[in-house]
Structure 1
């Protein structure tokens, strides 16, 4: 069977507005209407059954890359409460560890994201003659890799 496409990646966050602002500054666009800010409330028995939890009430925002091919679903669970994550988890910890975005000006993007709490994990590195790369931590400790094509 051929997989038609990757629809989206879901990221659970505690501060939905901060995460939305961070990814908007990176260049992602809110998709859908929701409450006028793109926030949709999700709850009900079907949602409980899908996620395997009882009494789910969550808010989510779908954000897409400008080319329309990549999407992030940012989710804040109001109920039930979940365990705290580790916002300082290193890049080699098991689990989904980072997402990569190609950018045109890596230094410029870093400067725009710093007011949103972005901090470099390591440093900006020229990788061979193909890319400048870096890891940074965004909201909730999410590791975002930036790649600027060079050469």
Structure 2
């Protein structure tokens, strides 16, 4: 059976040892590297992971509209947003699992926000086929619903969010756009219940 060491206990022991001993700091640094290599330590296996989620980059702000075409045209006319094809048209079991909305179906578009270049964030405007059963705070309720971050790995990022006091909304799923690109994504919430999407894009298979 492989013995698991907790990083915090090892670090505190070393700190007590090297206080006021410059030479010991060098020795300790070498020992730490050797120790982690022998034990197969991985920071992701502990609760000590720190720093930003790997690859995190702001992706989009989501707006659930009653009429996505009319509302997206308004943002294009007034603010100079530009449509990013293809238009979205999603439905089916994967969308239901991802949104936690029964019989979910939606259409919409991404608009590139002005002033941030061709790779800047977008405004995602969607309309669900029905919002009759939309719950308070639900992903399908009209209004600004979530912000989104692109991440290197959705499953890893989701675990990190849950470890840091967030909550899960739906499951991790993968959808395919009309031009064949695949997006793996999920919804989570921050510790105060605000919705956040985690997503990772892949080129067409």
Larger Cα-atom Rg = 2
Q: Please state which band the TM-score falls in when normalised by the shorter chain.
A: 0.3 to 0.5
Q: TM-score, normalised by structure 1?
A: 0.48
Q: Which has the higher helix share?
A: 2
